[in-house]
Amino acid sequence: MTPSPAAFEGWLNSINRICDAFTGHATDDAFQGDIIETRQGALKMSVVQAAHARLVRQRGEVARSAAHHYFAVFQLEGATHMRQGDAQETLRAGDIMFIDNRYPSDFTFEGRARQLSLILPHERVEALLTHGTLRAGQKVAAQVAVAGLATQLLLGTQGRDDLSHVESEAVLDSLVSLLRPALLKDDPPRDAQEKAYRRCVDWIERHLCEAELSPEQVARHCGISLRGLYRAFGRHGQSVAQYIRDRRLDRCAQGLRDGSARGKMAGVADQFGFINSSYFTTAFKGRFGVAPSEYRKRYH
């Protein structure tokens, strides 16, 4: 029986409601699709099953996203062709891929495939990866030992209703920590520009909360031209100013969670290098979906 266009549209609407904004189409008349959402505290995941379908996330869909997060895609069955930036991979059973929702991406399901998609808040991932950089579209192959361990850990939470919020956060942190060696495998820098990027990132991290931190200061202290600095960060899909702002916000979010960011929000903003507390509140809400005061209430 040939599926109606409404069948694909219904599936796409569910994807948009549960995961994020996508467009797409059925690739032939044999389309099948289903999605089952599971939420347990901090664990927000869904099992996506599809055949003969394509999901596309373009700049328009990216612009509609309220918060920055990663999708950790665990391939359970079949094969899915996935693309983000320069990364083009075919995921097979046991493979894991990290998709950054700030950038366009493309999923093509040919035969029947099943994936478990876990939403990982950006700030938790970056805090655990410390000075490392998670590249958009990064894959951890099934042959890597920690891939199987991470999949078992996540599947082990399915069907449980006894996880507290704190315990579910511990599962998230454990997953990222478990996969960290594979995600940050230290390949030799590709060229001098990549070495410069890493040098600048390390310097920024050490001076992150200084209000006077600027691209010009980074370039001067790291021995790189301003143009070279912009080019090095542009290769990673970001501007220097955006990187500094986002890392400050991530550091602040961590402080609000663990209680180290105390006092009124104007003081918290200043503590993390934001001179203008109104701008800080707006930027924080844009990144995490809630004001910093509300974010702190969630954890205390």
Task: Please tell me the class of the 192-299 domain.
Answer: mainly alpha
Residues 6+ apart with CB under 8 A from 95: 75, 89, 139, 140, 141, 142, 147
Position of tokens 């990216």?
A: 62
The one-letter amino acid code at 17 reads R
Sheet hosting strand 23-26, strand order edge to edge: 23-26, 53-57, 105-109, 79-84, 87-92
Percent with pLDDT over 70 in the chain: 95
pLDDT in tens, 55-85: 999 888 888 777 788 999 999 999 999 988 7
For residues 222 and 196, the answer to whether their CB atoms sit within 8 Å is yes
pTM for the predicted model, two decimal places: 0.63
Token look-up 């990027």 returns: 197
pLDDT tens-digit map of 111-130:
889 999 999 988 788 777 76
- The tokens describing 31, both together, are 């389309």
CB 45 within 8 A of CB 121: no
Domain ranges (residues) in the chain: 5-183, 192-299
For 249-274, the pLDDT digits (tens) are 888 888 888 778 788 888 888 988 99
CA dist., res. 91 & res. 168, Å (int): 26
What is the domain class of 5-183 according to CATH?
Answer: mainly beta
Q: What's the rounded Cα separation, in Å, for the pair 208 and 218?
A: 11
The count of other CB atoms within 10 Å of the CB of residue 73 is: 22
